[in-house]
């Protein structure tokens, strides 16, 4: 019997066409598949029909979810699966069939076991570490190798490279072990490189075998959601629960959000003020290769499931966890660093907006009071909506800015670097502090309807000279604010060439609520769907293009690999009709400011280091290869170490200008009569950090000692590295000083509100 397509989908969703219902508590995968597919087709912003194009992209995504580096399947496997499934996966979805997902995963499991058997064969043989060969680092765009000798050679080179990494790491690790207390690591005999790699693949084999049918369907539906755009997701019930755990980990563990990428657990984001961020040795983008509980032996976690890595890192407050990391700055996969972190409950207030009052001497010799507000995110406590004392970004910034105004600032910098966004309402309200009134952002629904969000309060809270700092990690709400400031001509945008480019809005939909007839729907999970797009009031979308800076400064984050355009299947950039709005009356002198900044940049040695690093990173990414000759790899590591030591020596030898007087303003001290100046401190060298780690712990058993220790810790939190180590921040103050000078015509008689 033939059904019209939309009627068929509706009947299936309502449960009028019977599907076998499992007796267990797990929902029927057929019903879940139908529900997810239908919601994507009917609710997603693109309104993309399930068709052959979706089918082909879904197959591509699913294969890469299983085999990201193109090392398990063969080219013959991919050709066979393409011929069988590429043009009809959409039909499987419509009828809730998961045969393709299971069949492809079964083949993946088979190939994985074959590759692991090959790994053991290679490890049992004689490995040549003097080959004059290269291996690709990122194989995502590489073709799958053919069966037989090509796939065997690929894995021989891959394992040789991994062994070299471990051999070089073992040499540096032995040095570190000697510096540790004898009751911790020195007594433990480190595993040899072959055993480390063998255990890694044994763990991977175990993880593959543990994947059940729920996991398979989840990966398939996740691949389907990502076919529509990179921010749409499917989460099974267990994923939702683990997601909540990982969020609590971010707030009550080491303070890091983690994600799985190419076999590694990657630090996606550091929570401001969390244990991982306090020491300064852990960076976003670092990859975790092993975890140890206190003095215990490291457990290799390469190719380990994310939830297992999270479980190892999570722990009780005040307990120690040690991480072995590949730094994000490493150009050689053999480089390892070890970090010890005390787990703690993160004080959320440390992630709030905070400010600095800087007495800055510009390049014209004139001293000015400058305000600096850093915003980690656009937060808002939605559970308190309707209450006067609601926690919100705008409220907090108003308080901080109010104190800065009391101190008589001549200009203001808003820092949105690394601000991934948050509440749209807060982005609109915050914009309202700096303009009289008018449109802030346009929002378009899937059906083409456009709504305009406006600031309706004619009150202008601050009207002084202003710059906004951004980088490629500034996304979503950050981009809305920056775009409005740029369109109104209200502030100069400074930083990376552009922001992230996420101009879409997502909504979480629980399947149990969307499809009440779904059997055991409470266990069915949820879908996160893109439902709207953002547009600037000037008409252009922030999608893909982001917000381009008026003045671009060198930054290691300014890379094409960071941003929406680097993701698969992003929604396109487009434009809509511009809104009428009244531009800011005062000029911003952007051309003049840019000219002066570009004259100063080459004179700053820190910018020279950044440019050098960018060239190395670019070369590294473009070549996408690493030698499997151990001597060559060792030479590369030695060069990296020598370069770091040379820079440290140059910094120490360089005559330092006196740091400006600075005051930290928080929500806790903003109302205090007197502000205490904070001290800039030099970042500690590796040797200093090692000496500090080896020092005996201080006795804080007495209550008075505990109080003193706590006070010292709070004071230490106010100490930040010198401006010269944040070259972008330093130059932004010079730019703001120039803007003030141009705005006031060389005088400082006028004080802004």
Q: Which residues does the annotation mark as catalytic?
A: 476, 487, 502
104 close to 62: Cβ distance less than 8 angstroms:
yes
Q: How many CB atoms lie within 10 A of CB 285?
A: 17
Distance between the two ends of the chain, CA-based, in angstroms?
A: 73
* Strand pairing report for 450-455 and 438-445: antiparallel
Q: In Å, what is the CA distance from 748 to each residue of 358, 404, 730, 743?
A: 16, 17, 21, 10
Q: How many CB atoms lie within 10 A of CB 712?
A: 11
Distance CA 282, CA 85 (A): 43
Distance CA 471, CA 457 (A): 29
Distance CA 625, CA 158 (A): 12
In this structure, the chain runs to a length of: 753
Distance CA 441, CA 486 (A): 12
* DSSP reduced 3-state for 664: strand
* Strand pairing report for 526-535 and 337-342: unpaired
Q: How many CB atoms lie within 10 A of CB 115?
A: 21
Query: Token digits for 460?
Result: 């202008």
Find all residues with CB under 8 Å of 228, minimum gap 6, and list them. 40, 44, 46, 48, 529, 530, 569
Distance CA 674, CA 489 (A): 35
Q: How many CB atoms lie within 10 A of CB 583?
A: 11
What angle separates helix 424-432 from helix 477-488, to the nearest 10 degrees?
A: 30
Distance CA 417, CA 496 (A): 9
What angle separates helix 193-210 from helix 149-178, to the nearest 10 degrees?
A: 120
Beta bridge partners of 369: 359
Strand ranges (E), 153-293 = 233-235, 256-261, 264-270, 287-293
Nearest to 101, CA basis, from 213, 242, 251 = 213
- Measured in degrees and rounded to the nearest 5, phi and psi for residue 528 equal -110, 115
Q: How many CA atoms lie within 13 A of 135 on its CB side?
A: 23
Nearest to 427, CA basis, from 393, 400, 397 = 393
Q: How many CA atoms lie within 13 A of 519 on its CB side?
A: 19
Q: Is 20 exposed, middle or buried (0-12, 13-18, 19+ CB in 10 A)?
A: exposed
CA 210-212-216 angle, 5° bins:
120
Evaluate the CA torsion angle 490, 428, 403, 414 in order and state its sign: negative
CA 499-501-504 angle, 5° bins:
140
Nearest to 78, CA basis, from 91, 62, 92 = 62
Beta bridge partners of 422: 378
Give the CA-trace dihedral at 192, 197, 200, 201, to 10 degrees: -140
Quote the longest CA-to-CA distance of the chain: 85
Token pair 């529900």 is found at 35
Give the distance from CA 455 to its chain's centroid. 30
401 close to 371: Cβ distance less than 8 angstroms:
yes
Which conformational region is residue 543 in: left (phi greater than 0), alpha (psi within -120 to 50 degrees), or beta? beta
Token pair 């969020």 is found at 247
């Amino acid at each position: 019997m033939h059904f019209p397509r939309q009627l068929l989908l509706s009947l299936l969703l309502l449960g009028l066409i019977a599907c076998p219902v499992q007796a267990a508590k797990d929902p029927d995968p057929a019903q879940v598949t139908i529900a997810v597919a239908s919601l994507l087709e009917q609710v997603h912003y693109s309104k993309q029909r399930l068709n052959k194009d979706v089918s082909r992209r879904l197959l591509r995504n699913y294969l890469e979810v299983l085999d990201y580096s193109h090392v398990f399947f063969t080219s013959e496997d991919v050709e066979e699966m393409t011929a069988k499934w590429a043009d009809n996966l959409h039909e499987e979805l419509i009828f809730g069939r998961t045969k393709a997902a299971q069949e492809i995963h079964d083949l993946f499991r088979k190939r994985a076991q074959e590759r692991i058997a090959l790994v053991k064969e290679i490890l049992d043989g004689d490995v040549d570490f003097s080959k004059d060969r290269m291996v690709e680092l990122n194989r995502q765009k590489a073709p799958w190798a053919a069966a037989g000798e090509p796939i065997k050679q690929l894995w021989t080179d891959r394992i040789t490279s991994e062994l070299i990494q471990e051999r070089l790491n073992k040499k540096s690790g032995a040095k570190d072990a000697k510096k540790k207390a004898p009751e911790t690591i020195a007594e433990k005999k480190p595993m040899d490189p072959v055993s480390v790699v063998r255990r890694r693949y044994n763990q991977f084999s175990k993880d593959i075998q543990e994947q059940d049918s729920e996991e398979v369907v989840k990966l398939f539906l996740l691949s389907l959601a990502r076919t529509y755009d990179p921010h749409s997701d499917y989460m099974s019930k267990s994923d939702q629960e683990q997601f909540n755990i990982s969020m609590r980990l971010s707030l009550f563990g080491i303070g890091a959000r983690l994600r799985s990428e190419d076999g590694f657990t990657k630090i996606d984001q550091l929570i401001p003020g969390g244990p991982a961020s306090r020491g300064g040795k852990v960076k976003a983008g670092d990859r975790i290769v092993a975890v140890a509980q206190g003095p215990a032996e490291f457990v290799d976690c390469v190719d380990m499931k994310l939830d297992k890595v999270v479980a190892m890192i999570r722990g009780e407050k005040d307990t120690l966890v040690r991480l072995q990391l590949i730094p994000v700055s490493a150009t050689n996969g053999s480089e390892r660093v070890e970090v010890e972190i005390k787990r703690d409950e993160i004080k959320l207030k440390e992630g709030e907006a905070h400010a600095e009052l800087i007495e800055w001497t510009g390049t014209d010799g004139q001293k000015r009071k400058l305000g600096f507000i850093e915003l980690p995110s656009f937060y808002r406590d939605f559970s308190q909506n309707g209450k006067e004392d609601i926690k919100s970004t705008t409220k907090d910034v108003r308080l901080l800015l109010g104190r800065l105004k009391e101190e008589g600032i001549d200009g203001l910098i808003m820092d949105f670097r690394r601000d991934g966004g948050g509440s749209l309402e807060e982005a609109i309200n915050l914009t309202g502090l700096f303009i009289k009134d008018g449109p802030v952002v346009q929002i378009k629904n899937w059906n083409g309807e456009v709504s305009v969000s406006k600031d309706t309060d004619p009150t202008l809270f601050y009207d002084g000279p202003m710059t906004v700092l951004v980088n490629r990690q500034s996304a979503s709400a950050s981009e809305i604010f920056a775009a409005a400031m740029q369109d109104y001509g209200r502030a100069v945008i400074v930083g990376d060439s552009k922001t992230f480019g996420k101009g879409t809005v997502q909504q979480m939909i629980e399947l149990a609520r969307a499809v009440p007839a779904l059997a055991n729907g409470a266990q069915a999970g949820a879908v996160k769907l893109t439902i709207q797009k953002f547009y600037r009031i000037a008409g252009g979308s922030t999608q893909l293009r982001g917000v381009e800076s008026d003045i671009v400064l060198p930054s290691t984050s300014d890379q094409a690999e960071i941003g929406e355009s680097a993701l698969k299947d992003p929604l396109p950039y487009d434009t809509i009709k511009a809104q009428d709005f009244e531009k800011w009356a005062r000029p911003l002198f952007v051309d003049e400011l840019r000219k002066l900044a570009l004259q100063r940049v080459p004179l700053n040695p820190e910018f020279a280091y950044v440019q050098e690093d960018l060239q190395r990173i670019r070369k590294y990414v473009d070549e996408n290869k690493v030698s499997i000759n151990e001597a060559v790899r060792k030479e590369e590591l030695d060069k990296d170490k020598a370069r770091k030591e040379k820079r440290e020596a140059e910094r120490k030898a360089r005559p330092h200008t006196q740091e400006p007087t600075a005051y930290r303003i928080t929500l806790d001290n903003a109302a205090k009569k007197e502000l205490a100046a904070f001290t800039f401190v030099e970042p500690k060298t590796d040797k200093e950090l090692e000496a500090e780690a080896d020092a005996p712990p201080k006795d804080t058993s007495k209550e008075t000692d505990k109080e003193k220790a706590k006070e010292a810790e709070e004071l230490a939190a106010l100490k930040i590295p010198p401006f010269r180590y944040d070259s972008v921040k330093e130059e932004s103050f010079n730019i703001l000083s120039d803007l003030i000078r141009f705005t006031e015509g060389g005088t400082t008689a006028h004080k802004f509100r």
